[in-house]
Amino acid sequence: MAGRPAGRDGDGAEGAVARLTGRRVVRVRAVAGAVAEVVLDDGRVVMAKRGELPGAVRAEAAGLAWLAEAGAVRVPRVRGSDAEWLVTERVVTGAPDAGAAVRFGRELAALHDAGAPAFGAGPPGGPRDAYIGAAPMRNAPGADWPSWYAGHRVLPYLRTAVDSGTVRPAEAAVVEEVCARLPGLAGPPEPPARLHGDLWNGNVLWATDGHVRLIDPAAHGGHRETDLAMLRLFGCPHLDRITAGYQDTRPLADGWRDRVGLHQLFPLLVHTVLFGRGYAEQAVATARAALAR
């Protein structure tokens, strides 16, 4: 069997899936990086993903369980996990569909409405120190969104970017001013929403059954506009239909379009830390635009 992602302890996808599902493995096909598609002896097909960062599998498995518990947006069912491997059902995907987009918007609103104990609260059973992509993300609770968002989502990544020289001190001052003014820029107070947390188009799977599946969460309690802002930042098919379905279910507060940039600062600074200067310039431009409104 070719292309089997191997674990740090030598336990590859074949052995991990057999151990975690209790089924014999018929075939393994490497998909990308540490992800493999695995056919079991009962005909089922699962996806095996090796966590490359400490605690990453635990965080992802807990996040998927927390999102599934809401009974709103669908996620792949977890078939097994341990400290290193996550095994989930395979999602058969098709073309993005306008009707599915409206359903997704409604389901996303229901997910957010399921709530969280606090801003920054992580999924039950998940680690405090989790990840968004390959970047560390600490799930530390806060009482109000502006101070929590500034202190735990924007400023930590800004400091890392400044320390590495990716963001210049004068540019950092612009982002810091946004953080200082967040109480007046954030709009009406809202309760903590149950967020996917890393909702870019690559984590949205358009399944052939007409329902979207969400993968790779960085789940936590946050502001519901953050998930929608991330979809808008990186683009998503039928975004207007998604937004319409959401608005029909749980309308956003007035002025939400003017606040999109505030919510995009977090993912832009994460990308600045991971990928460099181009995202730094976009983050600073977004901060300046937010201050100009």
- Gap between the Cα atoms of 123 and 61, Å rounded: 9
Task: Determine the Cα angle at 197 with ends 89 and 201, to 5°.
Answer: 65
Percent share of the chain, pLDDT over 90: 94
The CATH architecture annotation of domain 13-89 reads 2-Layer Sandwich (3.30)
CATH number among 1.20.1600.10, 3.40.50.150, 3.90.1200.10, 3.40.50.970, domain 98-292 = 3.90.1200.10
Cβ 59 vs Cβ 81: under 8 Å: no
Query: Among residues 182, 246, 264, 191, which one has the least CA distance to residue 221?
Result: 191
Mean pLDDT for all residues in the chain: 95
Query: Among residues 184, 197, 192, 254, which one has the least CA distance to residue 223?
Result: 192
List, for residues 68-94, the tens digit of each pLDDT value. 999 999 999 999 999 999 999 999 999
pLDDT of residue 292 exceeding 80: yes
Q: What is the pLDDT, as a whole number, of residue 293?
A: 84
In the chain, CATH 3.90.1200.10 covers 98-292
List, for residues 205-244, the tens digit of each pLDDT value. 999 999 999 999 999 999 999 999 999 999 999 999 999 9
Q: What is the pLDDT, as a whole number, of residue 197?
A: 98
- In this prediction, residues 256-276 reach a mean pLDDT of 98
Residue 11's pLDDT band, with cuts at 50, 70 and 90, is low
List, for residues 24-80, the tens digit of each pLDDT value. 999 999 998 789 999 999 999 999 999 989 999 999 999 999 999 999 999 999 999
In the chain, CATH 3.30.200.20 covers 13-89
